[in-house]
Structure 1
Amino acid sequence: MGLIETDETNKFTFEPFAAHPFYTEVNRALVRQALGHLSQKKDNQTITVVDMACGTGAISRLVIEEMERQGMLAQLRLIGVDPSAEALRRARKGVDEMGLSVQVEFIQGESEDLPKLVQNVDLAFFCNAIHLLTDKQTAFQMVASILAPEGIFACNSAFYNGTYATGTDRFYRLWTRRAVAWLRKEHPEARLSREAKAAAMQWVDSDDYVRLYQESGFEHVDIVQETANISLDAWRDLGQYWLFIEGALPGVPLAQGAQALEVAVYQAGEELGLQEVPRNWLQMVGIKK
């Protein structure tokens, strides 16, 4: 994915944000939306599912839960791929703790390594990360290359044009303004970079995603927009994630940016009288020709 993790960025992870219940429900909805297209599979066929950039296995566990609920767990072959050995260790531990008999492999590698690792995949997930890629077209084509005919590609994002629920723009503007003001007071040496613009902030429209699917060989594209209510505590946790910090406060040291965003999110919430802020999530499923 071209996202360079370091010892410092590993202190500012996505995991606390992903632990909030709303996040699980958003992704569970996508898993069910995608698996709904597998109903034509015969009972004796293996169903190969790839969880790209699987991290600590949150999506992998949702896939296992849903396949068990649908009585298809014995058919499942699940492959999780992630560059982080520590994340994969935690993913394996999480699956083991489920206590289910399931065929699972966790492989250390980048998503672009997938064509060398697996072919004829029935379903690929790439959750909450597609917006991080500057070259989305290549990513879609790579996924298409590993899918079997009528294979399914599911991804989602809360970073796109349309993600702000009506009337919430002022929250984001105020959050950023208060964070910048805090930095100027507490760390006047910190300077925002005018040149840097994180990939996460380079958003596209839902129509652009439909085009990406279609140009990559997917004929049926099912896009749903869901709204999640996100608490200030969850926004605080997102503000501790290194990629979000780089997007909101480019050029600022991560520790200072995280502290600024934590203080500021509660200031913004108090000024606007908010305990939670809704956010739209784009849930996308495409079927290969």
Structure 2
Amino acid sequence: MGLIETAETNLFTFEAFAAHTFYTDVNRALVQQALKHLVQREGDDQLTIVDMACGTGAISRLIAEEMAKYGLAHRTRIVGVDPSAEALRLAHKAMEELKLPLQADFIQGEAEDLPRLVQNADAAFFCNAIHLVPDKLAAFRQMDTILAPRGIFGCNSAFYEGTYVTGTERFYRLWTRRAVGWLKKEHPEVHLSRESKAMAMQWLTPDEYITNLKQAGFTAVETEYQDVDISLDGWRDLGQYWLFIDGALPGIPLAFGAQALETAVYQAGEELGLPKVPRRWLQMVAIKG
């Protein structure tokens, strides 16, 4: 599940896209959907909740706020895991600013480190990243190993077969076409890679996700869909993220790709008369058998 980060990729991050209200709303809905199973359980033991690939802790804070609403913050331990030390520093700082009576540990590590870092977790989240993982079944099995019996796993994606709202496909095609045209004009020396099959392009259907989850040991899987209106500014910000650039324009230097996608998204929106483009998020909550 490791993703390759470099000094260059750290200049093209997910943070601007993640700061949009719609992104917070869709993740809050998943957190609420998953945690309602947890808070119904009786007892007064500590509840351990894992946020895998936590980044700067946006999901961790949503979890903390939700547990506080139920009056369970004092019983909650959140474990955020991410490979980036700088992201973890920011996550820790932002969590402290919430001033909630819970324990939060932000630990540097990859997915393969999870069984060493935490066991018998009550819930785990892996948000907006499963589509980047080549072996999704292995990723789900990894999450299963750290969960206690009846543990809850929350996962979502807007990169799967079915994410395009009917009628919006033309926007994505035109956006890519205009970006490629801009590159040919401004940087004729660079060329798209024909061999590269970006991880972000390996999409599954919802049924394939459900099958993988059940094969990994989850007995019940809930799926919900959430339509989200994304402004052209939102799409621009996604087009500044290195993994999206690599998926849309494989083989193109990130700085050129970011420029091309930023210019082209407004061209495509104007040509089609679209100030915003909806996208359908897949929200999945699975219970360990």
Would the TM-score normalized by the shorter structure come out above 0.5? yes
Give the match's secondary structure for 1:6: coil
2:220 is matched with 220
Shift of 1:41: 2.3
Give the match's secondary structure for 2:98: coil
1:182 is matched with 182
Give the match's secondary structure for 1:153: strand
* Matches of 1:34 and 1:168, distance apart in 2: 30
Shift of 1:170: 0.1
The number of aligned residues is 289
Shift of 1:99: 1.7
Equivalent residues of 1:144, 1:288 under 8 A apart: yes
* Structure 2 residue 253 is matched with structure 1 residue 253: yes
CA deviation vs aligned residue, 1:127-175 (integer Å, no higher than 9, x gap): 0000000011111111111100000111000000000011000000000
1:53 is matched with 53
Give 4+ residue runs of structure 1 displaced > 6 Å after superposition.
none
2:108 is matched with 108
1:166 is matched with 166
1:279 is matched with 279
Percent of counterpart pairs with the same letter?
67
2:135 is matched with 135
* Matches of 1:117 and 1:186, distance apart in 2: 48
What are structure 2's unaligned runs of at least 5 residues? Answer: none
CA-atom RMSD, angstroms? Answer: 0.7
5-14 or 34-43, which moves further after superposition?
34-43
* Matches of 1:191 and 1:249, distance apart in 2: 9
CA deviation vs aligned residue, 1:262-285 (integer Å, no higher than 9, x gap): 000000000000110000000000
* Matches of 2:103 and 2:174, distance apart in 1: 48
2:269 is matched with 269
* Matches of 1:112 and 1:34, distance apart in 2: 23
Equivalent residues of 2:123, 2:153 under 8 A apart: yes
Shift of 1:43: 4.5
CA deviation vs aligned residue, 1:203-253 (integer Å, no higher than 9, x gap): 010000100111011111000011100000000000000000000000000
* Matches of 1:197 and 1:281, distance apart in 2: 23
* Structure 2 residue 238 is matched with structure 1 residue 238: yes
User: Which residue type is aligned with residue 245 of structure 1?
Assistant: I
